[in-house]
């Protein structure tokens, strides 16, 4: 079986190559990848190469396939798993395996398992830990995005407050409370907002801040009506050239926040969040920094007397991703809100290398297709360049500029093959 994949050889060394996969063993599964969503975590791994804690030391000699937000269709099932899975079944994976304490993860550590490929081999540990998840949602892109949603769902479930009477922790967002998502109009911030509006245990007031007016306008267009329909107050505010603390304090009716998610690895932002945190509130530093010495001032007087809680989370687990898939099946969350670019496998390496510069939201790669990365916002202006782009633009424009199962099916049916 031949596969075409984007492989990491070392720092800033990505190559798209075709090569032979070995025959699967009885405890492995062959998967046809259909879509993979690119993640900033992969960009960080590319910058670090073998210095990354999940990337093997011998990556130069044994390159790994990148990509971990993937979805596809099972092709061949090893005998060990024949009673649990079937050929033709649509699946996704939870890459945080934590198998026997190992840091190994699809998209970072495996020679034959990563999302930016046409075909891959799932190692036995994926199935052993229950990380191969059946999918019933209407869209490969939704399934691929269930992994980033699992990360914010895990972050929300990790929020907590304490009780002096029983010395117990109550987990999750404070029901009916106030939630701030600082720097929240990027893809992960929007996923957090989306989940906050959909969760059974949800806040009464959500405030999202950002400094990009175009992103803010897009977020309002998508989520204002959702919040209104669900009876949740939503304010999306621009703090550019303003005092972040004053803006966020005023919009909350001069009350501090029960829960805060910080989506930016900036000391000043962390310090603002610390000042905004209410009595017995919880702040989750969600943004993954590159700086191993990132520090910010914390008011420990408030930590002591106002019982403030500061945590950090990274990634989700199997249950978090199953919850994301369930919410997608019920149409309670909006993964299309995260997608701003689409491309073929031939665009994956360059896009990954330049993720911080490109901006926007999620970049979705259709691994069996060959076409350059396309901005959905710019699609109408380039539609005349080909009949393929014309047809795709008509579908996207009719859906208010958002990606959709119809747009995806159009790409799968009409875009050139990577082969």
Measure the CA–CA gap between 258 and 318, rounded to whole angstroms: 27
pLDDT in tens, 181-190: 999 999 999 9
> Parallel, antiparallel, or unpaired: how do β-strands 205-210 and 178-182 relate?
parallel
**In 206-317, where does DSSP find H-type helix?**
213-229, 244-251, 267-276, 300-305
pLDDT band at 375 (very low <50, low <70, confident <90, very high): very high
pLDDT in tens, 83-139: 999 999 999 999 999 999 999 999 999 999 999 999 999 999 999 999 999 999 999
Structure tokens given for 35: 């879509």
Closest by CA position to 355, among listed 66, 97, 118, 152: 66
Measure the CA–CA gap between 105 and 126, rounded to whole angstroms: 9
Mean pLDDT across the chain: 97
> Chain-centre distance of CA 51, in angstroms?
23
Identify the pLDDT of residue 164. Answer: 81
Identify the pLDDT of residue 419. Answer: 87
Identify the pLDDT of residue 165. Answer: 87
The CB-side HSE value for 261 (13 A sphere, CA atoms) comes to: 37
pLDDT in tens, 288-300: 888 889 999 999 9
Identify the pLDDT of residue 167. Answer: 87
pLDDT in tens, 215-231: 999 999 999 999 999 99
Measure the CA–CA gap between 130 and 145, rounded to whole angstroms: 18
Closest by CA position to 277, among listed 171, 166, 161: 161
Bridge partner residues of 37 (DSSP): 69, 364
Bridge partner residues of 92 (DSSP): 71, 133
Identify the pLDDT of residue 7. Answer: 98
CA–CA–CA angle 315, 318, 322 (5° rounding): 110
276: left (phi over 0), alpha (psi -120 to 50) or beta: alpha
| 368 neighbors 417 (Cβ within 8 angstroms) | yes
Helix (H, G, I), strand (E, B) or coil at 264: coil
Query: What is the mean pLDDT of the segment spanning 333-348?
Result: 98
- Count the neighbouring beta carbons within 10 Å of the beta carbon of residue 379: 21
| 21 neighbors 111 (Cβ within 8 angstroms) | no
Identify the pLDDT of residue 288. Answer: 86
Measure the CA–CA gap between 170 and 162, rounded to whole angstroms: 6
Identify the pLDDT of residue 267. Answer: 97
pLDDT at 42 over 90: yes
pTM of the model: 0.95
Identify the pLDDT of residue 376. Answer: 98
By percentage, how much of the chain surpasses pLDDT 90? 96
pLDDT band at 413 (very low <50, low <70, confident <90, very high): very high
């Amino acid at each position: 079986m031949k596969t075409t994949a984007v492989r990491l050889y070392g720092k800033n060394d990505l190559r798209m190559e075709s090569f032979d996969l070995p025959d699967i063993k009885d405890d492995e599964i062959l998967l046809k990848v259909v879509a993979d969503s690119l993640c900033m975590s992969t960009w960080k791994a590319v910058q670090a190469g073998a210095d990354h804690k999940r990337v093997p030391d011998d990556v130069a000699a044994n390159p790994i396939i990148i990509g971990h937000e993937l979805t596809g269709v099972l092709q061949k099932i090893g005998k060990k798993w024949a009673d649990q899975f079937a050929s033709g079944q649509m699946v996704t994976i939870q890459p945080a395996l934590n198998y026997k304490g190992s840091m190994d993860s699809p998209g970072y550590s495996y020679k034959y398992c990563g999302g930016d490929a046409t075909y891959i081999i799932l190692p036995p540990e994926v199935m052993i830990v229950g990380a191969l998840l059946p999918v019933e949602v209407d869209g490969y892109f939704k399934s691929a995005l269930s992994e980033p949603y699992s990360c914010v769902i895990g972050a929300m479930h990790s929020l907590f407050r304490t009780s002096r009477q029983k010395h117990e922790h109550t987990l999750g967002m404070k029901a009916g409370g106030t939630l701030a998502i600082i720097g929240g109009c990027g893809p992960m911030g929007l996923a957090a907002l989306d989940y906050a509006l959909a969760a059974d245990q949800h806040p009464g007031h959500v405030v999202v801040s950002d400094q990009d007016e175009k992103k803010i306008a897009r977020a309002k267009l998508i989520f204002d009506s959702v919040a209104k329909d669900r009876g949740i107050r939503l304010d999306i505010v621009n703090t550019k050239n303003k005092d972040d603390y004053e803006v966020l304090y005023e919009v909350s009716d001069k009350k501090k926040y029960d829960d805060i998610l910080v989506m930016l690895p900036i000391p000043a932002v962390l310090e603002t969040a610390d000042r905004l945190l209410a009595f017995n509130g919880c702040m989750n530093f969600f943004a993954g920094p590159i700086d191993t010495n990132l520090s910010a001032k914390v008011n420990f007087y408030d930590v002591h007397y106002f019982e403030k809680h500061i945590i950090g989370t990274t990634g989700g687990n199997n249950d978090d991703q199953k919850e994301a898939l369930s919410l997608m099946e019920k149409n309670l969350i909006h993964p299309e809100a995260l997608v701003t670019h689409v491309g073929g496998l031939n665009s994956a390496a360059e896009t990954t290398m330049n993720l911080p510069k490109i901006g926007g939201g999620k970049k979705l790669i259709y691994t069996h297709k060959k076409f350059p990365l396309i901005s959905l916002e710019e699609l109408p202006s380039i539609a005349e360049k080909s009949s393929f782009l014309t047809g795709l633009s008509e579908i996207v424009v009719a859906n208010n500029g958002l990606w959709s199962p119809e747009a995806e099916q159009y790409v799968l049916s009409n875009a050139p093959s990577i082969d």
